[in-house]
Amino acid sequence: METTATHIAVIYATAQGSTREIADFIGASLAARGATVEVADTEHAPELSYFDAVILGSAVHNRALLPEMDEFVRTHATNLHAHPVWLFSVGLGPALVGPIGRRMGRAVPKKIAAVRDSITPRDFHAFAGHYERAGVSLSARTVYRLVGGTRYGDLRDWPAITAWTDSIAHALKLPAPQATPTHP
């Protein structure tokens, strides 16, 4: 008996490329398990009715998902409710340490929670992104340090991203991976 591959859309909104790299990694990881995966930004997103599952990811600016992801969710709400959906965000919160930083990092900002709750994803996960010091004002750098930012650069936790992707694969009953994708 022949089985058909699970079709998964990974749709993202990125500002500087960190979210795109995470989306690409998630897509490659699920494809290595036999799924047919299409990764695209919100502007070039495929027709969702052709997919069995949807994964959405967006960078976080000003404690909100990017406007293009908000618009995508509003425009495609009906299709999103017809599929299993997973949602991730990429921002600084998960990289913060110390008592204030950990508390801020665990809290889901109201604007993100509103989008999340509007589509009731199977899971939502916030990941740290990439944060460079260059071009950031002294006041923003000071606030970053005060709330628990300890370093600049690539703050992404690839083992956590891998574990979350594995949980999606498990929920979709995908087989073990044929290869192990690498991250950037």
Residue 116 pLDDT > 60: yes
- Asked if residue 54 is part of any domain, the answer here is yes
| Per-residue three-class SS string for 88-146 | EEEECHHHCCHHHHHHHHHCCCHHHHHHHHHHCCCEEEEEECEECCCCCCHHHHHHHHH
For the segment 14-20, the average pLDDT, to the nearest whole number, is 94
- Asked if residue 184 is part of any domain, the answer here is no
Q: Give the strand pairing for 130-131 and 153-154.
A: antiparallel
Residue 1 pLDDT > 50: no
Residue 80 pLDDT > 70: yes
Residue 69 pLDDT > 90: yes
Paired residues of 37 in beta bridges: 8
H helix or E strand, kind and range, residue 8: strand 7-13
- Asked if residue 180 is part of any domain, the answer here is no
97/64 Cα distance (integer angstroms): 21
For the segment 16-25, the average pLDDT, to the nearest whole number, is 96
Residue 2 pLDDT > 50: no
133-182 pLDDT, tens digit each = 677 677 777 776 766 667 777 889 999 999 999 999 999 999 998 877 88
Which residue would you say has higher pLDDT here, 7 or 62?
A: 7
- Asked if residue 178 is part of any domain, the answer here is no
Residue 58 pLDDT > 60: yes
- For the chain, the domain total comes to 1
- Asked if residue 2 is part of any domain, the answer here is no
CATH of the domain at 139: 3.40.50.360
- Asked if residue 156 is part of any domain, the answer here is yes
- Asked if residue 177 is part of any domain, the answer here is no
87-113 pLDDT, tens digit each = 999 988 887 787 877 777 778 999 999
40-53 pLDDT, tens digit each = 999 999 999 999 99
Residue 126 pLDDT > 50: yes
Q: What is the residue range of 13's domain?
A: 7-171
- The full DSSP string for 52-84 is SEEEEEEEEETTEE-HHHHHHHHHTHHHHHTS-
Residues contacting 150, CB < 8 A, separation 6+: 95, 97
- Asked if residue 142 is part of any domain, the answer here is yes
For 104, phi and psi rounded to 5 degrees?
Answer: -65, -40
Share of the chain above pLDDT 70, in %: 94
For the segment 23-51, the average pLDDT, to the nearest whole number, is 97
